[in-house]
Protein backbone atom coordinates (compact mmCIF):
# COMPACT_ATOMS: atom_id res chain seq x y z
CA UNK A 1 0.00 0.00 0.00
CA UNK A 2 1.40 3.39 -0.96
CA UNK A 3 2.50 5.55 1.94
CA UNK A 4 0.82 8.64 0.59
CA UNK A 5 -2.48 7.00 -0.37
CA UNK A 6 -5.25 7.22 2.17
CA UNK A 7 -6.24 3.83 3.51
CA UNK A 8 -9.91 4.50 2.89
CA UNK A 9 -9.30 4.98 -0.84
CA UNK A 10 -7.25 1.89 -1.41
CA UNK A 11 -8.23 -1.76 -1.38
CA UNK A 12 -6.30 -4.86 -2.30
CA UNK A 13 -6.64 -6.24 -5.78
CA UNK A 14 -8.02 -9.47 -4.34
CA UNK A 15 -10.87 -7.66 -2.65
CA UNK A 16 -11.46 -5.60 -5.78
CA UNK A 17 -11.69 -8.73 -7.92
CA UNK A 18 -13.96 -10.46 -5.42
CA UNK A 19 -16.37 -7.51 -5.51
CA UNK A 20 -16.57 -7.75 -9.29
CA UNK A 21 -17.10 -11.51 -9.20
CA UNK A 22 -19.87 -11.09 -6.61
CA UNK A 23 -21.63 -8.33 -8.55
CA UNK A 24 -21.45 -10.56 -11.61
CA UNK A 25 -22.95 -13.47 -9.73
CA UNK A 26 -25.70 -11.23 -8.31
CA UNK A 27 -26.57 -9.94 -11.79
CA UNK A 28 -26.76 -13.48 -13.15
CA UNK A 29 -29.08 -14.38 -10.28
CA UNK A 30 -31.25 -11.30 -10.92
CA UNK A 31 -31.45 -12.18 -14.59
CA UNK A 32 -32.77 -15.63 -13.73
CA UNK A 33 -35.37 -14.12 -11.40
CA UNK A 34 -36.37 -11.60 -14.10
CA UNK A 35 -36.58 -14.36 -16.68
CA UNK A 36 -38.86 -16.47 -14.49
CA UNK A 37 -40.90 -13.96 -12.52
CA UNK A 38 -41.19 -10.69 -14.45
CA UNK A 39 -44.09 -10.23 -16.87
CA UNK A 40 -42.80 -11.08 -20.34
CA UNK A 41 -45.02 -8.52 -22.09
CA UNK A 42 -43.53 -5.65 -20.08
CA UNK A 43 -39.81 -6.34 -19.85
CA UNK A 44 -39.51 -8.67 -22.84
CA UNK A 45 -35.96 -10.09 -22.96
CA UNK A 46 -34.44 -7.81 -20.34
CA UNK A 47 -33.12 -10.85 -18.48
CA UNK A 48 -30.84 -11.61 -21.41
CA UNK A 49 -29.15 -8.23 -21.19
CA UNK A 50 -28.77 -8.43 -17.43
CA UNK A 51 -27.30 -11.90 -17.86
CA UNK A 52 -24.83 -10.58 -20.45
CA UNK A 53 -23.66 -7.73 -18.20
CA UNK A 54 -23.48 -10.17 -15.29
CA UNK A 55 -21.33 -12.62 -17.23
CA UNK A 56 -18.93 -9.89 -18.39
CA UNK A 57 -18.60 -8.40 -14.90
CA UNK A 58 -18.22 -11.78 -13.26
CA UNK A 59 -15.71 -12.98 -15.81
CA UNK A 60 -13.61 -9.84 -15.26
CA UNK A 61 -13.64 -10.51 -11.51
CA UNK A 62 -12.77 -14.19 -11.87
CA UNK A 63 -10.02 -13.41 -14.36
CA UNK A 64 -8.48 -10.93 -11.91
CA UNK A 65 -8.77 -13.48 -9.11
CA UNK A 66 -6.96 -16.09 -11.19
CA UNK A 67 -3.96 -13.81 -11.71
CA UNK A 68 -2.50 -14.53 -8.30
CA UNK A 69 0.72 -12.56 -8.83
CA UNK A 70 -1.35 -9.37 -9.13
CA UNK A 71 -3.15 -9.85 -5.80
CA UNK A 72 -0.80 -7.70 -3.78
CA UNK A 73 -1.08 -4.70 -6.13
CA UNK A 74 -3.44 -2.23 -4.48
CA UNK A 75 -6.32 -0.60 -6.35
CA UNK A 76 -6.63 3.09 -5.70
CA UNK A 77 -9.85 5.03 -6.03
CA UNK A 78 -8.82 8.58 -6.73
CA UNK A 79 -10.08 11.49 -8.73
CA UNK A 80 -7.39 11.11 -11.40
CA UNK A 81 -8.01 7.36 -11.75
CA UNK A 82 -11.73 7.99 -12.12
CA UNK A 83 -11.01 10.64 -14.74
CA UNK A 84 -8.77 8.28 -16.71
CA UNK A 85 -11.44 5.59 -16.56
CA UNK A 86 -14.11 7.99 -17.77
CA UNK A 87 -11.93 9.30 -20.60
CA UNK A 88 -10.99 5.83 -21.77
CA UNK A 89 -14.53 4.50 -21.68
CA UNK A 90 -16.57 7.63 -22.34
CA UNK A 91 -18.08 6.25 -25.53
CA UNK A 92 -19.10 2.94 -24.00
CA UNK A 93 -20.63 4.69 -21.00
CA UNK A 94 -22.58 7.06 -23.24
CA UNK A 95 -23.80 4.10 -25.28
CA UNK A 96 -24.91 2.25 -22.17
CA UNK A 97 -26.77 5.32 -20.91
CA UNK A 98 -28.45 5.72 -24.28
CA UNK A 99 -29.53 2.08 -24.39
CA UNK A 100 -30.98 2.26 -20.86
CA UNK A 101 -32.79 5.49 -21.76
CA UNK A 102 -34.32 3.97 -24.90
CA UNK A 103 -35.31 0.80 -23.02
CA UNK A 104 -37.18 2.86 -20.40
CA UNK A 105 -38.86 5.00 -23.04
CA UNK A 106 -39.76 2.10 -25.32
CA UNK A 107 -39.61 -1.28 -23.54
CA UNK A 108 -39.95 -3.16 -26.82
CA UNK A 109 -36.31 -2.26 -27.34
CA UNK A 110 -35.53 -5.04 -24.87
CA UNK A 111 -36.54 -7.73 -27.38
CA UNK A 112 -33.62 -9.87 -28.49
CA UNK A 113 -34.79 -9.47 -32.07
CA UNK A 114 -33.79 -5.82 -31.84
CA UNK A 115 -30.26 -6.78 -30.90
CA UNK A 116 -30.04 -9.22 -33.80
CA UNK A 117 -31.43 -6.56 -36.14
CA UNK A 118 -28.83 -4.07 -35.03
CA UNK A 119 -26.05 -6.60 -35.52
CA UNK A 120 -27.33 -7.50 -38.96
CA UNK A 121 -27.42 -3.85 -39.98
CA UNK A 122 -23.96 -3.29 -38.57
CA UNK A 123 -22.40 -6.20 -40.46
CA UNK A 124 -21.87 -4.70 -43.95
CA UNK A 125 -20.84 -1.40 -42.39
CA UNK A 126 -18.28 -3.21 -40.28
CA UNK A 127 -16.74 -4.79 -43.37
CA UNK A 128 -16.44 -1.37 -45.02
CA UNK A 129 -14.98 0.14 -41.84
CA UNK A 130 -12.42 -2.67 -41.63
CA UNK A 131 -11.31 -1.82 -45.15
CA UNK A 132 -11.14 1.88 -44.59
CA UNK A 133 -9.22 1.53 -41.31
CA UNK A 134 -6.12 0.42 -43.22
CA UNK A 135 -6.11 3.65 -45.19
CA UNK A 136 -6.65 5.65 -41.99
CA UNK A 137 -3.79 3.83 -40.27
CA UNK A 138 -1.32 5.27 -42.77
CA UNK A 139 -2.71 8.75 -42.04
CA UNK A 140 -4.68 8.61 -45.27
CA UNK A 141 -8.33 8.16 -46.10
CA UNK A 142 -10.46 6.52 -48.78
CA UNK A 143 -13.26 8.52 -50.29
CA UNK A 144 -13.97 5.93 -52.97
CA UNK A 145 -15.28 3.27 -50.55
CA UNK A 146 -18.98 4.07 -50.94
CA UNK A 147 -18.85 4.22 -54.72
CA UNK A 148 -17.01 0.89 -54.82
CA UNK A 149 -19.84 -0.62 -52.79
CA UNK A 150 -22.27 0.72 -55.39
CA UNK A 151 -20.15 -0.58 -58.26
CA UNK A 152 -20.00 -4.08 -56.80
CA UNK A 153 -23.75 -4.05 -56.14
CA UNK A 154 -24.64 -2.98 -59.69
CA UNK A 155 -22.18 -5.35 -61.36
CA UNK A 156 -23.18 -8.41 -59.37
CA UNK A 157 -26.97 -7.92 -59.60
CA UNK A 158 -26.85 -7.03 -63.30
CA UNK A 159 -25.59 -10.51 -64.10
CA UNK A 160 -27.75 -12.38 -61.61
CA UNK A 161 -31.34 -11.77 -62.62
CA UNK A 162 -33.96 -14.48 -62.97
CA UNK A 163 -34.60 -15.66 -66.52
CA UNK A 164 -38.28 -14.71 -66.31
CA UNK A 165 -37.73 -11.12 -65.14
CA UNK A 166 -39.08 -8.59 -67.67
CA UNK A 167 -36.38 -5.88 -67.56
CA UNK A 168 -33.27 -7.94 -67.65
CA UNK A 169 -29.94 -6.09 -67.80
CA UNK A 170 -28.52 -8.66 -70.22
CA UNK A 171 -31.62 -10.19 -71.83
CA UNK A 172 -29.74 -13.10 -73.39
CA UNK A 173 -27.32 -13.90 -70.58
CA UNK A 174 -27.43 -17.57 -69.59
CA UNK A 175 -27.71 -18.41 -65.89
CA UNK A 176 -24.16 -18.00 -64.59
CA UNK A 177 -22.88 -19.78 -61.51
CA UNK A 178 -23.41 -17.30 -58.63
CA UNK A 179 -19.70 -17.08 -57.90
CA UNK A 180 -18.78 -15.69 -61.36
CA UNK A 181 -20.58 -12.32 -61.13
CA UNK A 182 -19.48 -11.97 -57.51
CA UNK A 183 -15.85 -12.46 -58.49
CA UNK A 184 -16.28 -10.05 -61.40
CA UNK A 185 -17.74 -7.39 -59.10
CA UNK A 186 -14.99 -7.78 -56.50
CA UNK A 187 -12.33 -7.83 -59.22
CA UNK A 188 -13.62 -4.54 -60.62
CA UNK A 189 -13.31 -2.97 -57.17
CA UNK A 190 -9.82 -4.38 -56.73
CA UNK A 191 -8.85 -2.83 -60.07
CA UNK A 192 -9.83 0.59 -58.78
CA UNK A 193 -8.03 -0.25 -55.55
CA UNK A 194 -4.88 -0.80 -57.60
CA UNK A 195 -5.39 2.62 -59.15
CA UNK A 196 -5.81 4.21 -55.71
CA UNK A 197 -2.69 2.51 -54.41
CA UNK A 198 -0.66 3.38 -57.47
CA UNK A 199 -1.59 7.07 -57.33
CA UNK A 200 -0.70 7.25 -53.64
CA UNK A 201 2.42 5.07 -53.64
CA UNK A 202 3.95 6.08 -56.95
CA UNK A 203 3.17 9.79 -57.12
CA UNK A 204 3.10 10.40 -53.39
CA UNK A 205 -0.38 11.86 -53.86
CA UNK A 206 -2.39 12.53 -50.75
CA UNK A 207 -4.95 9.72 -50.43
CA UNK A 208 -7.69 12.33 -50.04
CA UNK A 209 -7.12 13.58 -53.58
CA UNK A 210 -6.22 10.24 -55.16
CA UNK A 211 -9.35 8.53 -53.83
CA UNK A 212 -11.50 11.57 -54.60
CA UNK A 213 -10.43 11.25 -58.24
CA UNK A 214 -11.13 7.52 -58.21
CA UNK A 215 -14.47 8.06 -56.49
CA UNK A 216 -15.64 10.37 -59.27
CA UNK A 217 -14.34 7.98 -61.93
CA UNK A 218 -16.06 4.98 -60.38
CA UNK A 219 -19.38 6.77 -60.12
CA UNK A 220 -19.14 7.87 -63.73
CA UNK A 221 -18.17 4.43 -64.96
CA UNK A 222 -20.83 2.75 -62.86
CA UNK A 223 -23.49 5.18 -64.16
CA UNK A 224 -22.43 4.57 -67.76
CA UNK A 225 -22.75 0.84 -67.22
CA UNK A 226 -26.08 1.33 -65.45
CA UNK A 227 -27.35 3.46 -68.35
CA UNK A 228 -26.54 0.90 -71.05
CA UNK A 229 -29.52 -0.14 -73.15
CA UNK A 230 -31.79 -1.88 -72.57
CA UNK A 231 -31.50 -1.00 -68.88
CA UNK A 232 -31.32 2.79 -69.34
CA UNK A 233 -30.84 3.56 -65.64
CA UNK A 234 -33.72 1.44 -64.39
CA UNK A 235 -33.21 0.11 -60.85
CA UNK A 236 -32.02 -3.48 -61.12
CA UNK A 237 -34.55 -5.98 -59.78
CA UNK A 238 -35.58 -9.59 -60.18
CA UNK A 239 -32.43 -10.80 -58.53
CA UNK A 240 -32.00 -14.57 -58.39
CA UNK A 241 -32.90 -16.17 -55.06
CA UNK A 242 -29.73 -18.25 -55.03
CA UNK A 243 -27.85 -14.94 -54.85
CA UNK A 244 -30.06 -13.07 -52.36
CA UNK A 245 -29.68 -15.98 -49.99
CA UNK A 246 -26.15 -14.86 -49.07
CA UNK A 247 -27.59 -11.64 -47.69
CA UNK A 248 -30.94 -12.79 -46.38
CA UNK A 249 -30.52 -16.33 -45.09
CA UNK A 250 -31.20 -16.87 -41.42
CA UNK A 251 -29.33 -19.63 -39.67
CA UNK A 252 -30.15 -21.55 -36.50
CA UNK A 253 -33.85 -21.03 -37.15
CA UNK A 254 -34.65 -24.50 -35.85
CA UNK A 255 -33.11 -24.38 -32.42
CA UNK A 256 -35.29 -23.81 -29.36
CA UNK A 257 -38.49 -24.66 -31.14
CA UNK A 258 -40.00 -22.51 -33.87
CA UNK A 259 -40.07 -19.23 -31.92
CA UNK A 260 -36.43 -18.29 -32.60
CA UNK A 261 -36.15 -15.84 -35.53
CA UNK A 262 -32.72 -17.05 -36.51
CA UNK A 263 -29.43 -15.24 -37.00
CA UNK A 264 -28.74 -13.46 -40.26
CA UNK A 265 -25.88 -15.03 -42.14
CA UNK A 266 -24.36 -11.55 -42.41
CA UNK A 267 -23.39 -11.63 -38.76
CA UNK A 268 -21.03 -14.64 -38.98
CA UNK A 269 -19.65 -13.30 -42.27
CA UNK A 270 -18.74 -10.02 -40.58
CA UNK A 271 -17.33 -11.86 -37.58
CA UNK A 272 -15.10 -14.05 -39.73
CA UNK A 273 -13.92 -10.99 -41.68
CA UNK A 274 -13.12 -9.34 -38.36
CA UNK A 275 -11.01 -12.28 -37.23
CA UNK A 276 -9.15 -12.43 -40.53
CA UNK A 277 -8.44 -8.70 -40.54
CA UNK A 278 -7.36 -8.84 -36.90
CA UNK A 279 -4.92 -11.58 -37.86
CA UNK A 280 -3.59 -9.66 -40.86
CA UNK A 281 -3.10 -6.51 -38.82
CA UNK A 282 -1.54 -8.09 -35.74
CA UNK A 283 0.17 -11.24 -36.87
CA UNK A 284 1.65 -10.56 -40.28
CA UNK A 285 4.63 -8.51 -41.39
CA UNK A 286 2.29 -6.59 -43.68
CA UNK A 287 0.13 -5.57 -40.71
CA UNK A 288 3.15 -4.47 -38.70
CA UNK A 289 4.35 -2.49 -41.70
CA UNK A 290 0.98 -0.73 -41.97
CA UNK A 291 1.43 0.59 -38.44
CA UNK A 292 5.06 1.44 -39.19
CA UNK A 293 4.28 3.40 -42.37
CA UNK A 294 1.53 5.20 -40.48
CA UNK A 295 3.70 5.84 -37.42
CA UNK A 296 6.69 7.27 -39.27
CA UNK A 297 6.97 6.80 -43.00
CA UNK A 298 10.57 8.04 -43.29
CA UNK A 299 11.71 5.70 -40.56
CA UNK A 300 9.90 2.84 -42.30
CA UNK A 301 11.88 3.49 -45.49
CA UNK A 302 15.15 3.49 -43.57
CA UNK A 303 14.15 0.26 -41.78
CA UNK A 304 13.81 -1.56 -45.08
CA UNK A 305 10.02 -1.57 -45.27
CA UNK A 306 8.82 -1.82 -48.85
CA UNK A 307 6.57 1.22 -48.58
CA UNK A 308 5.34 1.03 -52.18
CA UNK A 309 4.20 -2.55 -51.78
CA UNK A 310 2.62 -1.86 -48.40
CA UNK A 311 0.56 1.06 -49.70
CA UNK A 312 -0.51 -0.87 -52.81
CA UNK A 313 -1.63 -3.80 -50.67
CA UNK A 314 -3.52 -1.53 -48.31
CA UNK A 315 -5.67 -0.06 -51.05
CA UNK A 316 -6.15 -3.40 -52.78
CA UNK A 317 -7.24 -5.11 -49.57
CA UNK A 318 -9.55 -2.21 -48.74
CA UNK A 319 -11.13 -2.33 -52.21
CA UNK A 320 -11.58 -6.09 -51.87
CA UNK A 321 -13.52 -5.59 -48.64
CA UNK A 322 -15.69 -2.85 -50.18
CA UNK A 323 -16.44 -5.24 -53.03
CA UNK A 324 -17.54 -7.95 -50.61
CA UNK A 325 -19.67 -5.44 -48.69
CA UNK A 326 -21.26 -4.25 -51.95
CA UNK A 327 -22.16 -7.79 -53.00
CA UNK A 328 -23.65 -8.49 -49.56
CA UNK A 329 -25.66 -5.26 -49.61
CA UNK A 330 -27.01 -6.10 -53.06
CA UNK A 331 -27.97 -9.59 -51.92
CA UNK A 332 -29.58 -8.30 -48.73
CA UNK A 333 -31.71 -5.72 -50.55
CA UNK A 334 -32.17 -7.87 -53.68
CA UNK A 335 -31.47 -4.99 -56.02
CA UNK A 336 -29.17 -2.11 -56.86
CA UNK A 337 -28.92 1.30 -58.47
CA UNK A 338 -25.86 3.36 -59.34
CA UNK A 339 -26.47 5.44 -56.21
CA UNK A 340 -25.93 2.51 -53.87
CA UNK A 341 -23.32 3.10 -51.21
CA UNK A 342 -23.30 6.87 -51.57
CA UNK A 343 -21.68 8.37 -48.48
CA UNK A 344 -20.86 5.05 -46.81
CA UNK A 345 -17.20 6.03 -46.61
CA UNK A 346 -18.01 8.97 -44.34
CA UNK A 347 -20.02 6.74 -41.99
CA UNK A 348 -17.17 4.24 -41.95
CA UNK A 349 -14.54 6.90 -41.27
CA UNK A 350 -16.69 8.35 -38.49
CA UNK A 351 -17.12 4.90 -36.94
CA UNK A 352 -13.37 4.22 -37.07
CA UNK A 353 -12.53 7.57 -35.55
CA UNK A 354 -15.10 7.19 -32.79
CA UNK A 355 -13.57 3.75 -32.22
CA UNK A 356 -10.19 5.33 -31.51
CA UNK A 357 -8.42 5.19 -34.87
CA UNK A 358 -6.17 8.23 -35.16
CA UNK A 359 -6.32 10.24 -38.38
CA UNK A 360 -2.65 11.02 -37.77
CA UNK A 361 -1.88 7.40 -38.49
CA UNK A 362 -0.32 4.53 -36.61
CA UNK A 363 -3.00 4.14 -33.92
CA UNK A 364 -6.11 1.94 -34.08
CA UNK A 365 -7.42 -1.42 -32.96
CA UNK A 366 -9.99 -3.81 -34.43
CA UNK A 367 -11.95 -3.88 -31.16
CA UNK A 368 -12.33 -0.12 -31.31
CA UNK A 369 -13.59 -0.24 -34.87
CA UNK A 370 -16.18 -2.88 -33.99
CA UNK A 371 -17.48 -0.79 -31.10
CA UNK A 372 -17.43 2.34 -33.27
CA UNK A 373 -19.62 0.68 -35.89
CA UNK A 374 -21.94 -0.77 -33.24
CA UNK A 375 -22.33 2.59 -31.53
CA UNK A 376 -23.40 4.28 -34.75
CA UNK A 377 -25.83 1.51 -35.61
CA UNK A 378 -27.35 1.48 -32.12
CA UNK A 379 -27.76 5.23 -32.17
CA UNK A 380 -29.39 5.24 -35.56
CA UNK A 381 -31.63 2.27 -34.81
CA UNK A 382 -32.44 3.42 -31.29
CA UNK A 383 -33.32 6.97 -32.20
CA UNK A 384 -35.50 5.70 -35.01
CA UNK A 385 -37.10 3.33 -32.53
CA UNK A 386 -38.23 6.09 -30.19
CA UNK A 387 -39.38 8.21 -33.12
CA UNK A 388 -36.67 10.87 -33.29
CA UNK A 389 -36.89 12.62 -36.67
CA UNK A 390 -34.14 11.78 -39.19
CA UNK A 391 -33.03 15.40 -39.18
CA UNK A 392 -32.44 15.33 -35.45
CA UNK A 393 -30.68 12.00 -35.88
CA UNK A 394 -28.16 13.73 -38.16
CA UNK A 395 -27.57 16.50 -35.61
CA UNK A 396 -27.04 13.97 -32.82
CA UNK A 397 -24.69 11.86 -34.96
CA UNK A 398 -22.59 14.93 -35.71
CA UNK A 399 -22.38 15.89 -32.07
CA UNK A 400 -21.31 12.36 -31.14
CA UNK A 401 -18.48 12.41 -33.68
CA UNK A 402 -17.21 15.76 -32.40
CA UNK A 403 -17.45 14.89 -28.72
CA UNK A 404 -16.05 11.38 -29.10
CA UNK A 405 -12.99 12.54 -31.00
CA UNK A 406 -12.42 15.47 -28.66
CA UNK A 407 -12.35 13.06 -25.72
CA UNK A 408 -10.15 10.64 -27.62
CA UNK A 409 -7.62 13.33 -28.51
CA UNK A 410 -7.34 14.14 -24.81
CA UNK A 411 -5.84 10.69 -24.30
CA UNK A 412 -2.89 11.45 -26.57
CA UNK A 413 -2.34 15.06 -25.68
CA UNK A 414 0.87 15.25 -23.74
CA UNK A 415 1.56 17.95 -21.22
- The residues that touch other proteins, with contacts defined as CB under 8 A, are 283-286, 288-289, 291-292, 295-296, 298-306, 358, 362-363
Name which of 131 and 361 has its Cβ closer to other proteins: 361
Cβ 138 to other proteins, closest distance in Å?
12
The Cα 232–Cα 147 span in angstroms is: 19
Find all residues with CB under 8 Å of 43, minimum gap 6, and list them. 34, 107, 110
Cβ 292 to other proteins, closest distance in Å?
6
Name which of 177 and 304 has its Cβ closer to other proteins: 304
Question: DSSP letter at 317?
Answer: H
Cα-flanking dihedrals φ and ψ of residue 155, to 5°? -60, -45
Find all residues with CB under 8 Å of 131, minimum gap 6, and list them. 142, 145, 317, 318, 319, 320, 321, 322, 325, 348
Cβ 282 to other proteins, closest distance in Å?
8
Find all residues with CB under 8 Å of 277, minimum gap 6, and list them. 130, 321, 366
The Cα 244–Cα 158 span in angstroms is: 13
As a whole number of angstroms, the longest Cα–Cα distance in the chain is 84
Cβ 364 to other proteins, closest distance in Å?
10
Cβ 301 to other proteins, closest distance in Å?
6
The torsion defined by the Cα of 25, 31, 33 and 34, in degrees rounded to 10, comes to 160
The Cα 305–Cα 298 span in angstroms is: 10
**CB count in 10 Å sphere of residue 60:** 15
Name which of 108 and 283 has its Cβ closer to other proteins: 283
Name which of 313 and 330 has its Cβ closer to other proteins: 313
Name which of 44 and 291 has its Cβ closer to other proteins: 291
Task: List beta partners, residue 336.
Answer: 236
Cβ 270 to other proteins, closest distance in Å?
23
Name which of 3 and 302 has its Cβ closer to other proteins: 302
Name which of 228 and 299 has its Cβ closer to other proteins: 299
In 103-139, which positions are buried (b, 16+ CB within 10 angstroms) versus exposed (e)?
beeeeebbeeebbbbbbbbbbbbbbbbbbbbbbbbbb
Cβ 276 to other proteins, closest distance in Å?
13
Amino acid sequence: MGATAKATNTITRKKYATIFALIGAALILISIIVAVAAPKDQVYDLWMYILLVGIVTGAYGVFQLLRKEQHSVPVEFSRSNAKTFLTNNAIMIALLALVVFIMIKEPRFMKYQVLLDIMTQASPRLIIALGICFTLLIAGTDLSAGRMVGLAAVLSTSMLQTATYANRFFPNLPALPVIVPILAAVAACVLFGVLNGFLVAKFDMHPFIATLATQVMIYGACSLYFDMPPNNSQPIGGVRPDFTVIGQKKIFQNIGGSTFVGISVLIPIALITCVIIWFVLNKTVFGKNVYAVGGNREAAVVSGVNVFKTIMLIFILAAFLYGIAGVLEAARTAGATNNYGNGYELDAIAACVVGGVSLNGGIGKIGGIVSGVLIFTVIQYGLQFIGVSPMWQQVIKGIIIAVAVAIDMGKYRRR
